[in-house]
Amino acid sequence: MNPPLASIVVPCRNAEQWLGRTLESALAQTLPDREILLVDDGSTDRSLEVARGFASRGVQVVSQPNRGASAARNHGLRLARGRFIKFLDADDLLAPEALALQVAALEGRPEAIAFGPWARFQEDATNAIFTPHPGWQDSPALDWIKATWADTEPMYQCGLFLLPRPLLDRAGGWDESLSLIDDFEFFTRVALQAKELIFTPGARLYYRSGLTASLSGRKSRRAWESACRSSLLAVEHLLAREDSATTRRLGANILQKLVYAFYPEHPDLRRDLALRISRLGGADIPPGGGASFQRLARVVGWRFAARLRYWLGRRPA
């Protein structure tokens, strides 16, 4: 029997509340030649039980001790038999035609990656609003990275992408030492192995937001260390491909945005980032914030304004 044309790898850790809908969206794919692999990463809720309830419908379920989402994805990747690979988080949803559209887009383009649009939702995916972002067009890989980095908030959520297996094998798997924004390092590295990225407008990803227990919502010291390392590695990947004034400034701005994100915490991490930013030639991106923050920052400087915002946010309600 020929191997499945495309594989969907779903890592799962304590997602029992949303996992059923995610697997339903994977099973609803109109592409007939596909497989779905669920890798449970040591869940302590009913996620594994929920997943096994889909085994009779063709979902392959495996489990491992808790080692992190990247390790779970790598486990699924080793088991996957498809010519194309899609990683899908256990709380997100795919449009039914997503896989078919992306497989069709990549036929005859072995050095390309397909990616689709995304929109946030909390409870009802029909309320998701798809707003165009930088990079939502066909583009050479290097140009695409520059475009998506330009606003310093590139969205590299794994369910967006369909990856040819040979290209993925060449780039390597997920870095299992990373947790927060591990996808940023991974997809920067993988995209730089491609010749082009193909935008597939109908291959929509519905990105569930507002989950305080989600990986992206964790802001522990370890999580920020991961975010820093992921960002630094991604910058190095880009500069290894093109070391120019443009890519240095893009890299510096990515790192500066991270400094803004956790200021005034973790001064040692901020010092490391500041040193790298300086070596890159400096950043030119202002801090984000609402109108009140911006007014205060203009008067007293962004650092004082950020400290005030931080301490006000920590006061008991």
Split into its structural domains, the chain has a count of 3
Both 105 and 74 in one domain: the answer is: yes
1 falls within a domain: no
Q: Residue 280 pLDDT more than 80? A: yes
Quick check: is 36 in a domain?
yes
Q: What pLDDT score was predicted for residue 204?
A: 98
Give the model's pLDDT for residue 1. Answer: 46
My answer on whether 298 and 253 are in the same domain is no
Specify if 258 maps to a domain: yes
- Predicted pLDDT at 210: 78
Residue 300 placed within a domain? yes
> How high is the pLDDT of residue 4?
74
Report the C-alpha gap between 110 and 167 in whole angstroms. 8
Q: Based on the domain organization, do 151 and 296 belong to the same domain?
A: no
CA 283 to chain centre: 23
Q: How distant, in Å, are the alpha carbons of 40, 106, 292, 315 from that of 111? A: 31, 9, 47, 52
Taking only the tens place, the pLDDT of each residue in 92-106 is 999 999 999 999 999
Q: How far apart are CA 274 and CA 80, in angstroms?
A: 41
Both 59 and 164 in one domain: the answer is yes
Q: Which of 3-7, 24-28, 88-92, 270-274 is predicted least confidently? A: 3-7
Q: Determine the structural domain holding residue 124 and report its residue range.
A: 6-216
Residues 167 and 196 in one domain: yes
Q: Are residues 82 and 106 in the same domain?
A: yes
Backbone dihedral angles phi then psi of residue 315, each to the nearest 5 degrees? -70, 145
- Number of Cβ within 10 Å of residue 292's Cβ equals 10
pLDDT for the residue 68? 97
> Does the predicted model carry a pTM greater than 0.75?
yes
CA distance 237 to 235: 5
- Residue 38 shares a structural domain with residue 114: yes
Asked whether the predicted pLDDT for residue 256 surpasses 80, the reply is yes
Asked if the model's pLDDT at residue 216 lies above 90, the reply is no
* Predicted confidence band of residue 108 (pLDDT cuts 50, 70, 90): very high
CA distance 90 to 96: 16
Give the C-alpha separation, 253 to 285, whole Å. Answer: 6
The DSSP letter of residue 286 is: P
158, pLDDT greater than 90:
yes
Q: Give per-residue burial for 60-91: e unless 16+ CB within 10 Å, then b.
A: bbebeeeebbbbbbbbbbeebebbbbbbbbbb
Give pLDDT, residue 79: 97
Looking at the structure, do residues 108 and 201 belong to the same domain, yes or no?
Answer: yes
> Do residue 281 and residue 304 come from a single domain?
no
Looking at residue 303, its pLDDT comes to 94
Q: How confident is the model at residue 218 (pLDDT cuts 50, 70, 90)?
A: low
274 and 207 within one domain: no
- The number of beta carbons lying within 10 Å of the beta carbon of residue 313 is 7
Nearest one of 8, 11, 144 to 70, comparing CA atoms: 11
Instruction: Look at residue 52 in the predicted model and tell me its pLDDT.
Output: 98
Segment 80-109 mean pLDDT: 97
Q: Is the pLDDT of residue 221 over 60?
A: yes
Residue 3 pLDDT: 59
Same-domain status, 97 and 195 = yes
Residue 112 and residue 193 in contact, taking contact as beta carbons nearer than 8 Å: no
Distance CA 251, CA 282 (A): 9
Choosing from 195, 216, 237, the residue where a domain stops is: 216
Helix axes 141-149, 221-241, angle to 10 degrees: 140
Look at residue 186 and tell me whether its pLDDT is greater than 50.
Answer: yes
64-77 per-position pLDDT tens digit: 999 999 999 999 99
Residues 241 and 285 in one domain: yes
What is the C-alpha to C-alpha distance for residues 278 and 283, in angstroms, rounded to an integer? Answer: 8
Residue 132 CB: number of other CB atoms within 10 A? 9
